[in-house]
Amino acid sequence: MKVGISDKFDAAHFLPGYLGKCVNLHGHTWTVDVEIEGKVNKLTGMLIDFTKLKYLLKTVLEKLDHDLLNRIVDMPTCENIATYIAGEMSKKIEIDMRTIVTVREGDGGWAQVESQLTS
């Protein structure tokens, strides 16, 4: 079974050494999709409670929202931001399941990372 949620945050970044406009400070609205895959709990009928999953993602995104991502993520490319969010989520979810984190940069590109979350 797969379930998922989405949320957004706004933040600035720049890519040092990049040969293009992204070397300059600029901002985006980032959209984050988190999909969880695993077995449904027979007692609850749920894989994970949406309210809990939304809360966990919100606590991760609060650290990024309206900040300069270069202070938080080493070389804040879309790929590294997705990896960062997946890593932070893995620290918060207590059950063994697979997660897919997709980060969309503005209305353009996206990056996706998959990992196994274990308790």
Return the pLDDT at 71: 97
Segment holding 48, helix H or strand E: none
The structure's pTM equals 0.92
Active site includes 94? no
Return the pLDDT at 117: 60
Alpha helices (H) along the chain:
50-62, 78-92
Order of all β-strands in the sheet with 110-117: 2-13, 26-37, 97-105, 110-117
**Residue % of the chain over a pLDDT of 90:** 84
Task: Indicate the residue type of 8.
Answer: K
Residues in the chain: 119
Asked if pLDDT for residue 31 goes beyond 60, the answer is yes
Three-state DSSP at 64 gives coil
Fold classified for 2-117: Tetrahydropterin Synthase; Chain A (3.30.479)
| Averaged pLDDT for residues 57-86 | 97
Active site includes 13? no
> Residues 22, 35, 79, 88: which is the catalytic one?
22
